[in-house]
Amino acid sequence: MVFLDLLISTLTQGFIYALLSYGVFITYKILDFPDLTVDGSFPLGAAITAVLLVNGMDPYLVLLISAAVGALAGLATGFIHVRLGVRDLLAGIITMTALFSVNLQIAGSNLAVERAIDTIFTAKPVMVILGPMSLMMRKFIVTLVLALLVKLLLDLYLKTKSGLLLRAVGDNSTLVTTLAKDKGTMKILGLVIANGLVALCGSVVCQEQRAFASTMGTGQVVFGLATVIIGTTLFRRFSFVKGTTAVLVGSVFYKICIQVAISLGLPANLLKLVMAVLFLAVLILGEKKKGGAKYA
């Protein structure tokens, strides 16, 4: 049973972080924009969530508000890059750095959400449907539903005219200009959606852990990029698999890898090092398939 428990909680982690992966999928894969805002917008979602939950707000409403505030972080990066002409990487770093202080202002360096406070896993609507189940199973099902629901919405959006134009911006921005559309506005829109999703992920993580820590954003970009690259590399040969499905699987796969490493006795302090090495391995393997290193 210990194994089964471990599997369920690992899958749950995979589903939660898939929300972040969707966000990185939009910026990195669709827009071709390496967005470092993520390391700041992820804890931003968590900080907002912790403070609002402590103040007694409905946990589901908190999810939406966190996503909306995260979207503003994306707007900031987009504005700095597109309208002020700062390079993509630097624009993200600027917002990320600023957000670290913002998060400290919102929630301090640490903030715990007490047991008595309801989260999306313990509030009434969930209890009515999933009441008899254990907390672990409830978390599993709620996060699964959330991951699938967001995936579905994102898939639908990418099929709309606006979604098609967003994909075109990353694919060939010159064409978007000749279609009489401002590619900059579309880039900003992509960053807004992506960071909204990332903050949503931060919110769910905070509700699941019942805690906010100012340092929880560190390495989230790397995680997101790794899952996107793992997912899209795994399904490269299967063109019928949607990108969102691929990164969902990538996220779960990644969390399983980390869990296996921990189970084998990896000290927690080495976790980020292992993440970095794993990311490097994925990048190299991905490039190998394309025909070797590019920068010689």
Partner 1 sequence: MLELKNITKIYNPGQITEMCLFDKFNLTVTDGQFVSIVGSNGSGKTSMLNIICGSIPIEGGEVLVGGKDIAKMKDYQRYRSIGRVYQNPSMGTCPNLTMLENMSLADNKGKSFGLSFGVNKARENYYKEQLSILGLGLENKMDVKLGALSGGQRQAAALIMSTLTPIEFLILDEHTAALDPKTAEIIMDLTGKVVKEKKLTAMMVTHNLRYAVEYGNRLIMMDKGGIVLDKEEEDKKKMMVEDILEVFTSISIECGN
Residue numbers of the site for partner 1 (CB under 8 A)?
Answer: 157, 159-165, 167-168, 171-172, 174-183
Instruction: For the CB of residue 55, give the shortest distance to partner 1 in the complex, in Å.
Output: 34
For partner 1, the closer of residues 40 and 170 by Cβ is 170
Measured from the CB atom, is 100 or 157 closer to partner 1?
157
Distances, alpha carbon 184 to alpha carbons 61, 62, 177, 207, in Å: 31, 30, 10, 35
The answer to whether the beta carbons of residues 28 and 185 sit under 8 Å apart is no
Q: Which is nearer to partner 1, 101 or 177 (CB)?
A: 177
Distance CA 120, CA 109 (A): 23
Question: Least distance from C-beta 25 to partner 1, angstroms?
Answer: 14
Distances (CA, A) of 268 to 50, 228, 237, 265: 24, 24, 35, 9
Instruction: Give the pair of three-digit tokens for residue 10.
Output: 């690992």
Q: Give the max Cα distance, the chain.
A: 60
Minimum distance from residue 241 beta carbon to partner 1 (Å): 15
Q: Which helix (H) or strand (E) holds 211?
A: strand 211-213
Task: Output 1 or 180, the one with its CB closest to partner 1.
Answer: 180
- DSSP class of 295: -
Residue 167 token pair: 């994909």
Instruction: Quote the least distance from Cβ 293 to partner 1, whole Å.
Output: 22
Q: On the CB side of 25, how many CA atoms lie within 13 Å of its CA?
A: 28
CB of 158 to partner 1, least distance (A): 8
Cβ atoms of 30 and 167 within 8 Å: the answer is yes
Give whichever of 181 and 210 is closer to partner 1, judged by the CB atom: 181
CB of 166 to partner 1, least distance (A): 9
In the complex with partner 1, which residue's Cβ is closer, 160 or 263? 160
